[in-house]
């Protein structure tokens, strides 16, 4: 299994064509390369694992920059003014083997105020042979003066469908059998990050006793609940049986289920019931994220007249999920919501 220990590095895109779900950025960068019109400073913004550094490297190579002339700087550990002063001096040195030198500054929002001021002077009047690519997960922490000197590209978090497809593709290349429901769980656990998706897949492959894995096996590995437990909670909420609903939560806790994942999966199912009831024309699209058995059950809930599985329940669970994300005891908000909802007349 040694060849699977670094899946994210092994399958990191090396060309524009391999980049997934960032077409709005790739098309602009490809146009710049084709016309040989390169911005002197680019700002890549987006959540972790969306491919900012990867695309920065691809762009650097696409404009003809040799590896010896690509410099990656981690602003988290090079954040002081003296580090930026060193950079200001270094940029004036001509490239070794290329027409352009490219500086990729990751997590640029970590720079100190003094360092930002020093960097600003370089961004205002950069040497003609230098291209800066700044990357950040927290755009709001950047001074407007810095942002105004850059061409800004905002990366979107990959959809679950894209993550699922990515995981299935790579599992196939690794000759590892992953069923669709298992890939869906991996995509859920990845929470909008390509890097995390491959990290979870790597964990699943290492933990598996053979070259295939089911959804329930993935659930155990990532701390997701089994589907039957989710349905038990939905049945209990529909019948307003607080004891059965609380028992489902207790089972999740005793099974070391990740409550964040648990809440997300419950919310998705309640939302699906609400949408099936009010938007039947989109039935196939709504149910595409669920297995056949789950789809049948969710449709049954949607057909129950006066069912408490409705928009009111969804809103209350959303509030509980928000509270859970900020609590040391994430299950308590869900338990309170369950009791309140089951006691309602």
CATH 3.40.50.300 domain residues, the chain: 22-154
In tens, the pLDDT along 82-130 reads 778 888 888 889 999 999 999 999 999 998 888 888 888 889 888 999 9
Task: Write out the residue limits of the CATH 1.20.272.10 domain(s) in the chain.
Answer: 227-343
Residue 2: pLDDT band (50, 70, 90) is very low
Distance, in Å, from the CA atom of 232 to the CA atom of 259, rounded to the nearest integer, reads 16
Per residue in 176-223, pLDDT tens? 988 888 898 899 889 889 999 999 999 888 887 777 788 888 888 888
Q: How confident is the model at residue 1 (pLDDT cuts 50, 70, 90)?
A: very low
Q: What is the pLDDT of residue 3?
A: 47
- Chain mean pLDDT for the chain: 90
- Whether residue 339 contacts residue 242, with contact meaning beta carbons closer than 8 Å, is answered with yes
Q: pTM score > 0.85 for this model?
A: no
The CATH number of the structural domain formed by 227-343 is 1.20.272.10
Hey, what CATH class is 22-154 in?
alpha beta
Which pLDDT score is estimated for 210? 77
Domain 160-222 has CATH 1.20.58.1180: no
Reduce the DSSP state of residue 217 to 3 states and report it.
helix
DSSP secondary structure code for residue 131 in this structure: E
Res 46 pLDDT > 60: yes
Residue ranges, comma separated, of all CATH 1.10.8.60 domains in the chain are: 160-222
Query: Distances from the Cα of 328 to the Cαs of 122, 191, 224, 246, 265, in angstroms?
Result: 45, 20, 19, 19, 20
Cα 271 from Cα 148, distance rounded (Å): 40
Say what angle helices 215-222 and 194-207 make with each other, to 10 degrees. Answer: 110
């Amino acid at each position: 299994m040694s060849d699977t220990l670094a899946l994210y590095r092994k399958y990191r895109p090396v060309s524009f064509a391999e980049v997934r779900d960032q077409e709005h950025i790739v098309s602009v960068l490809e146009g710049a390369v084709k016309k040989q019109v390169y911005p002197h400073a680019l700002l890549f913004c987006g959540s972790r694992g969306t491919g900012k550094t990867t695309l920065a490297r691809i762009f650097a190579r696409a404009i003809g920059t040799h590896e010896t002339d690509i410099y990656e700087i981690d602003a988290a550990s090079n954040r002081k003014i003296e580090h930026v002063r060193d950079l200001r001096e270094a940029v004036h040195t001509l490239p070794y083997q290329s027409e352009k030198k490219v500086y990729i500054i990751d997590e640029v929002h970590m720079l100190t105020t003094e360092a930002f001021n020093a960097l600003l002077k370089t961004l205002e009047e950069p040497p003609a042979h230098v291209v800066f690519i700044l990357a950040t997960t927290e755009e709001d922490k950047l001074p407007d003066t810095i942002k105004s000197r850059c061409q800004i590209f905002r990366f979107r978090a990959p959809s679950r469908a894209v993550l699922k497809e990515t995981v299935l593709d790579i599992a196939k290349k690794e000759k590892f059998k992953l069923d669709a429901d298992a890939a869906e769980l991996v995509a859920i656990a990845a929470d909008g990050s390509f890097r995390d998706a491959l990290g979870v897949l790597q964990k699943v492959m290492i933990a598996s006793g053979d070259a295939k894995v089911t959804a329930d096996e993935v659930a155990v590995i990532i701390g997701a609940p089994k589907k039957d437990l989710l349905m038990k909670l939905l049945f209990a909420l529909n019948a307003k049986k607080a004891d059965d609903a609380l028992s489902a939560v207790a089972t999740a806790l005793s099974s070391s289920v990740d409550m964040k994942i648990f809440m997300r999966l419950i919310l998705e199912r309640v939302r699906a019931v609400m949408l099936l009831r009010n938007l039947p024309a989109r039935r196939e699209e709504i149910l595409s994220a669920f297995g056949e058995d789950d789809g049948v059950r969710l449709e049954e809930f949607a057909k129950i007249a006066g069912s408490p599985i409705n928009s009111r329940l969804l809103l209350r669970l959303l509030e509980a999920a928000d509270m859970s994300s900020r609590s040391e005891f994430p299950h308590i908000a869900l338990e309170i919501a369950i009791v309140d909802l089951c006691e309602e007349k």
